[in-house]
């Protein structure tokens, strides 16, 4: 198993991701427009407030009961406010706090001033979207926070996938460093075959006790399809695609990363290096072949490039899950 290290990842990105494309994905609205034009499902945009003049005339009363507002060039969740209901004089945030229209206007002003955006900069725009609610078939693994799926793609070839499941510990955040569970997904059917919490392997969700190994993600085929289109849409040769499964809209690409992290390898107990080499070798061989003969395109190429590795890992996972289920016949009651 060849682990992809930081240096090799950076060299790969320098070769495959043009600077303009890297800058492009830092703009959420523009990225969504490009993705949508390539048939990738993204959250609808309710409003893009780009200036103080627009903010002054914006009719906040017409916003729906549940929405998300964020800086167009935000990062790491900074400046994101999630609202899921109306209350007297404003809205109720997901964390229970009240957001008055006055507070919302003040937040937009801060966003426009660039205070919540990356790369310094002294101006930004405020992006408003409907609130994403997790599809019930996914939410049964973890009924709070917004679990997401990360798929690393080399061009349109999906290399490795994981889901990040929030925990009580992570405060509902789908962030591995904050204590979320990372679970490796088999490309063939969307089944979880391994899960980790920090450095430890786990079999059940620590907050809900839901069995993770063998659990199948809904809309898996659509999820992989959406991820595979992002590279071409954004001009990134190597990309980490973050997706969510919305209760009404289904699969949505939330974000694309030109510098995806390496911890997905820990979660999968597999290295990206060997897979990248394998795909590049296949692509070179194919290019040589098509130069000589005309070939029918293989519509399944890339979808299951690592079937056998996945099978082995998954069988191991199932076997271990069986052992754990035997040892824990009566699961502990649900934590709050
Ligand atoms: N429309 C939305 N509905 C619900 N939650 C959202 C929405 N947009 C963003 N979030 C939450 O906020 C987090 C950060 O948003 P994201 O768009 O990924 O921006 P950032 O670049 O700051 O990471 C997401 O991981 C998700 O948990
Ligand atoms: Mg994000």
Check whether residue 145 and residue 275 sit in a common domain.
yes
Q: What is the mean pLDDT of the chain?
A: 88
Taking the CA of 83 as reference, the closest ligand is 1
**Number of structural domains in the chain:** 2
Check whether residue 164 and residue 236 sit in a common domain.
yes
Torsion sign, CA atoms 57, 61, 64, 66: positive
Which of 208, 207, 183, 213 lies closest to 196 in space, CA to CA? 183
* Tens digit of each residue's pLDDT (9 = 90 or more) over 210-245: 999 999 999 999 999 999 999 999 999 999 999 999
Torsion sign, CA atoms 84, 47, 34, 114: negative
The CB density around residue 258, as the number of other CB atoms within 10 Å, is 22
Check whether residue 229 and residue 299 sit in a common domain.
yes
Q: Which of 94, 112, 130 is the last residue of a domain?
A: 130
The CB density around residue 130, as the number of other CB atoms within 10 Å, is 18
Lowest mean pLDDT among 20-24, 130-134, 304-308: 304-308
* Tens digit of each residue's pLDDT (9 = 90 or more) over 260-298: 999 999 999 999 999 999 999 988 998 999 887 665 554
Check whether residue 298 and residue 201 sit in a common domain.
yes
Residue 185 or 282, more confident: 185
Q: What is the pTM of this model?
A: 0.87
Judge contact between 110 and 116, C-beta under 8 A: yes
Q: Which of 104, 130, 156 is the last residue of a domain?
A: 130
| Ligand 2 centroid to residue 75 C-alpha, Å | 7
Q: Name the phi and psi angles at 33, rounded to 5.
A: -60, -45
Q: What is the mean pLDDT of residues 178-203?
A: 96
Judge contact between 243 and 251, C-beta under 8 A: yes
Within the chain, where are the H helices?
Answer: 6-16, 19-24, 28-37, 52-57, 101-112, 136-139, 220-234, 264-268, 272-292, 307-327
Residue nearest to atom 26 of ligand 1 (CA): 146
What CATH number is attached to the domain comprising 236?
A: 3.30.470.20
Judge contact between 256 and 34, C-beta under 8 A: no
In which band, very low, low, confident or very high, does the pLDDT at 318 lie, cut at 50, 70 and 90?
Answer: low
Residues 197 and 19: their CA atoms lie apart, in Å, by 34
Residue nearest to atom 14 of ligand 1 (CA): 77
Check whether residue 54 and residue 79 sit in a common domain.
yes
Check whether residue 100 and residue 189 sit in a common domain.
no
Check whether residue 202 and residue 246 sit in a common domain.
yes
Q: Which of 130, 162, 184 is the last residue of a domain?
A: 130
| Residue carrying the six token digits 């937009």 | 108
Check whether residue 69 and residue 17 sit in a common domain.
no
Q: What is the domain extent for residue 208?
A: 1-43+132-336
Q: Which residues line ligand 1 (CB under 6 A)?
A: 43, 68, 70, 74-78, 80, 82, 129, 131-132, 146, 174, 254-255
Atom number of ligand 1 nearest to Cα 175: 25
Lowest mean pLDDT among 16-30, 155-169, 288-302: 288-302
Atom number of ligand 1 nearest to Cα 146: 27
| Residue carrying the six token digits 């405060």 | 171
Residue nearest to atom 19 of ligand 1 (CA): 77
For 172-179, the CB contacts below 8 A with 24+ separation are 172/144, 172/145, 172/146, 173/77, 173/145, 174/145, 174/146, 174/147, 174/148, 176/263, 176/267
> What percentage of the chain has pLDDT greater than the value 90?
79
Residue nearest to atom 15 of ligand 1 (CA): 77
pLDDT at 292: 76
Atom number of ligand 1 nearest to Cα 80: 12
- Residues 6 or more apart whose CB falls under 8 angstroms from that of 260 comprise 150, 152, 238, 239, 240
Judge contact between 192 and 163, C-beta under 8 A: yes
* Tens digit of each residue's pLDDT (9 = 90 or more) over 34-75: 999 999 999 999 999 999 999 999 999 999 999 999 999 998
- Which residues is 163 bridged to in the sheet? 149, 183
| Ligand 2 centroid to residue 12 C-alpha, Å | 22
- Tokens (6 digits) for 88: 């007297």
Inter-CA distances, 23 with 17, 26, 61, 118, 146, Å: 10, 6, 34, 11, 26
Check whether residue 191 and residue 230 sit in a common domain.
yes
Check whether residue 140 and residue 183 sit in a common domain.
yes
CA dihedral 146, 21, 227, 256 (to 10 degrees): -10
Check whether residue 237 and residue 290 sit in a common domain.
yes
Check whether residue 183 and residue 297 sit in a common domain.
yes
pLDDT at 320: 43
- Which residues is 129 bridged to in the sheet? 68
291: three-class secondary structure by DSSP = helix
């Amino acid at each position: 198993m060849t682990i992809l290290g930081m240096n090799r990842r950076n060299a790969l990105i320098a070769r495959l991701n043009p600077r303009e494309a890297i800058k492009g994905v830092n703009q959420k609205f523009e990225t969504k427009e490009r993705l949508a034009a390539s048939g990738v499902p993204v959250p609808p945009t309710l409003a893009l407030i780009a200036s103080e003049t627009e903010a002054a005339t914006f009719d906040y009363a017409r916003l729906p009961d549940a929405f998300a507002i964020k800086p167009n060039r935000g990062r790491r969740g900074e400046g994101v406010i999630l609202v899921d209901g109306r209350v007297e004089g404003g809205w109720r945030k997901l964390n229970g706090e009240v957001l008055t229209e006055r507070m919302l206007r003040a937040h937009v002003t801060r966003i426009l001033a660039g205070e919540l955006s990356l790369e310094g900069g002294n101006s930004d725009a405020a992006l408003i979207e409907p609130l994403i609610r997790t599809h019930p078939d996914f939410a049964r693994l973890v009924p709070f926070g917004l679990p997401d799926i990360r798929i690393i793609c080399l061009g349109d070839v999906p290399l490795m996938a994981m889901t990040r499941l929030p925990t009580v510990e992570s405060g509902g955040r789908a962030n591995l460093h904050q204590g979320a569970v990372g679970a490796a997904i088999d490309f063939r059917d969307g089944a979880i075959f391994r899960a980790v919490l920090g450095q430890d392997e786990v079999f059940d969700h620590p907050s809900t006790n839901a069995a993770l190994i063998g659990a199948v993600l809904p809309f898996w085929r659509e999820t992989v399809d959406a991820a595979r289109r992002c590279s071409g849409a954004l001009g990134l040769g190597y990309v980490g695609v973050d997706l969510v499964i919305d209760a009404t809209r289904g699969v949505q690409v939330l974000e694309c990363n030109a510098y995806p992290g390496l911890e997905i390898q820990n979660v999968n107990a597999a290295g990206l290096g060997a897979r990248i080499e394998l795909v590049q070798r296949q692509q070179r061989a194919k290019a040589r072949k098509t130069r000589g003969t005309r070939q029918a395109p293989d519509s399944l190429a890339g979808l299951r490039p690592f079937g056998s590795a996945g099978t082995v890992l998954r069988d191991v996972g199932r076997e271990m899950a069986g052992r754990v289920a035997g040892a824990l016949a009566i699961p502990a009651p649900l934590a709050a």
